[in-house]
Structure 1
């Protein structure tokens, strides 16, 4: 499949197909991975990039036996071409999709906190509603490169730092300070945030088993330095050790609401909680949106997730 755009190359003009191939090579950092993504032979990918370099009169890619990297000119050219090319590609696709039922592959990245039954049920219902959409799901706390990994949409918690992405707010989340009754047995309950410094805590993303928790009560804010026997990189494991009585946890409501209701966990400092932090659906900046992404975003906005409060 050598033609990416149904456009002709006029004399003296650059071939947009060559530019599209170069952009994909730059994104994936490999001729072979780009060839696989584009459905082309590696030799065709290499030939098209070489043809583009000859037309421009510059070297875009530095090739060695071990590494492929952009030259200074290649980086500048990629930054100028990638987004307009995406818009052109989406415009062409939008023209062919406007009268169709939403279909095609939808690649979705979500954090580990969503890797539970409620979200799986939501995706299952969505696929039944749109049987011609296929889903490729990434469950990871890593902030994947949506363009480089060719991901359509990601759900992310907290403040966003990538200004090149479109962000749609879908809710807010909050954390509570909790522990098991067995862990608290014989201990004096904390009366103020600083009392937590006397408790063993189970933390997320701590350094040297030390962390700082920010708690709020109305307009009051307190930062508390906590320590403990265990830290992890995801709330699934943090909550598991809190449930097993290894210390106090600072857990999102999705991980503690049911156990608070059943009495298996106790909320400490009930007037205090984390600041509310936003939950966003983010996707690459594009003027034209594939129908499969539009209907997914609409379904997501209508869904009430137990891990966030509706925006």
Structure 2
């Protein structure tokens, strides 16, 4: 009868590309691992490994067996680690990918502030990514993306979160020269200051005077009278109140963009990741 421990030692030997390396990783004697692997081969009736002086090679039967047991053993290991982790405060490193424009929003800043206050032993790394990334290959826990961008893999979870209120604005000086449009169809002759995300909201054939994902730059240029910008409402509330920027009425004809939460579909998410996903879902799910 085969032993789960022996199957795990076989998988570790394959992952570490050798018995010596597996012995170092498990703090076991090399000779003991070698005997256990021989016992596994005897029980199964197949040679699994071809041993050489420097490394190991898998036989055809060994490759087949490793494909069958790799995922279940990983799941068991993840479940065991999660049980231990749930008995303690969440800790460790969590990597999050976000679009550059999201970093300046009150929504995201408030979420991160709350998370790090509740879970001070978690270290966060926040990377700016403009498109969908392979979360597993980049060792990233989750990604936030504009709703019109799909994840790279069908087995990733993708959930729509809140729609962000955006406002179409320009300086009073610019509008006094160009006139105030009343409908989207009238905007063809205006200069636009756009990001890749707000550009998707507008009809085709706009005259883009500047295209940048730096919302602060778009904000500054809009106040300087260089064109019309679509900016997060929370970013320009003070400017609207002071008169530095003026709201353009036809903005209500635009559909606000949504944000998607993307993460690998795993049976056992690390506790630090599960808590972030739960916070985002509880507060911002559509």
| TM-score, scaled relative to structure 1 | 0.64
| Structure 1 outlier segments of 4+, above 6 Å | 80-83
Match of 2:174 among 177, 183, 188: 183
Contact 1:177 1:273 in 2 (8 A): no
Secondary structure at 1:287 match in 2: coil
Closer/same/farther in 2, CA of residues 174 and 121 from structure 1, 3 Å limit: closer
Secondary structure at 1:256 match in 2: helix
Closer/same/farther in 2, CA of residues 302 and 265 from structure 1, 3 Å limit: farther
Aligned-pair distance for 1:147?
0.8
Match of 1:9 among 6, 10, 15: 6
1:132 aligns with 2:97: no
Aligned-pair distance for 1:181?
0.9
1:114 aligns with 2:102: yes
Match of 1:195 among 186, 200, 210: 186
Contact 1:155 1:279 in 2 (8 A): yes
- List runs of 5+ in structure 2 lacking aligned partners: 18-24, 26-50
Secondary structure at 1:270 match in 2: helix
CA distance in 1 between partners of 2:195 and 2:227 (Å): 13
The structure whose Rg is larger is: 2
Q: Deviations over 1:15-54 (max 9, x none)?
A: 32255568xxxxxxxxxxxxxxx9xxxxxxxx9xx967x2
What residue is the counterpart of 1:266 in the other structure? 246
- List runs of 5+ in structure 1 lacking aligned partners: 1-6, 23-37, 39-46, 61-76, 216-222, 304-308
Aligned-pair distance for 1:56?
4.2
CA distance in 1 between partners of 2:80 and 2:96 (Å): 22
Aligned-pair distance for 1:117?
7.6
Aligned-pair distance for 1:269?
3.2
State which drifts further: 129-138 or 282-291.
129-138
Contact 1:228 1:247 in 2 (8 A): no
Closer/same/farther in 2, CA of residues 85 and 175 from structure 1, 3 Å limit: farther
| TM-score, scaled relative to structure 2 | 0.69
Secondary structure at 2:136 match in 1: coil
Judging by fraction of residues, say which structure has more helix: 2
Aligned-pair distance for 1:246?
1.1
Secondary structure at 1:272 match in 2: helix
Secondary structure at 1:185 match in 2: helix
Contact 1:194 1:224 in 2 (8 A): no
Closer/same/farther in 2, CA of residues 83 and 262 from structure 1, 3 Å limit: farther
Secondary structure at 2:137 match in 1: coil
Secondary structure at 2:160 match in 1: strand
Contact 2:92 2:121 in 1 (8 A): yes
Aligned-pair distance for 1:289?
1.8
Contact 2:174 2:227 in 1 (8 A): yes
CA distance in 2 between partners of 1:212 and 1:279 (Å): 15
Closer/same/farther in 2, CA of residues 201 and 93 from structure 1, 3 Å limit: same
Q: Deviations over 1:169-196 (max 9, x none)?
A: 3311243321111211233211221211
